[in-house]
């Protein structure tokens, strides 16, 4: 949604990449001084951590946990699972006259999106977020249990 607001209409390739299809306001402003749009977001990192722990336990026991068991698992490390962090989502403007420095907004949960050819891609993901995403992918989170 942020990219569509910045650039106008966008398309989605079969691969899932976002593609610039039509002109938007930032594209046609020849004196464009906006290097990026930065969105600060409260991110519930504990929820991702809890999902990983829950799926790991269900996989190891080869069954779904009851709601009582899931609640007990949550309560065993509730301080960790209730954790929120402030992160930056950076959407770079490929038509800007000056780029945003690459050494800012690169925290452990931050993301940076930029144009590569005609495709907008997530170009940076913080180390802690990447680790959680890799754990979720390895566990098949979102996929039916076996």
| Tens digits of residue pLDDT in 109-123 | 999 998 888 788 899
The ranges of the chain with pLDDT < 70 are: 1-32, 142-146
Taking alpha carbons only, the member of 97, 114, 95, 108 closest to residue 38 is 114
Element (H, E) at 46: helix 45-61
Q: Which two tokens stand for residue 116?
A: 């590569």
Residue 23 in tokens = 């002109």
CB atoms within 10 A of CB 145: 11
pLDDT of res. 4: 60
Domains of the chain, residue spans: 2-139
Output the pLDDT for position 107: 96
Nearest CA among 82, 81, 135, 90 for reference residue 109: 90
- pLDDT at position 146 is 45
């Amino acid at each position: 949604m942020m990219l569509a607001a910045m650039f106008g209409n966008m398309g989605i390739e079969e691969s899932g990449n976002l593609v610039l299809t039509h002109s938007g306001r930032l594209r046609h402003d020849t004196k464009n001084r906006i290097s990026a749009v930065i969105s600060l977001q409260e991110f519930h990192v504990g929820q991702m951590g809890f999902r990983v722990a829950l799926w790991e336990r269900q996989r190891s026991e080869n069954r779904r946990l009851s709601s009582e068991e899931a609640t007990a698992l949550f309560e065993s490390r509730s301080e960790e699972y209730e954790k929120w962090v402030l992160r930056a989502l950076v959407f770079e403007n490929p038509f800007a006259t000056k780029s945003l420095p690459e050494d800012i907004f690169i925290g452990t949960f931050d993301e940076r999106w930029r144009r590569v050819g005609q495709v907008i891609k997530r170009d940076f993901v913080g180390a802690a977020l990447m680790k959680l995403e890799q754990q979720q992918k390895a566990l098949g989170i979102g996929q039916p249990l076996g």
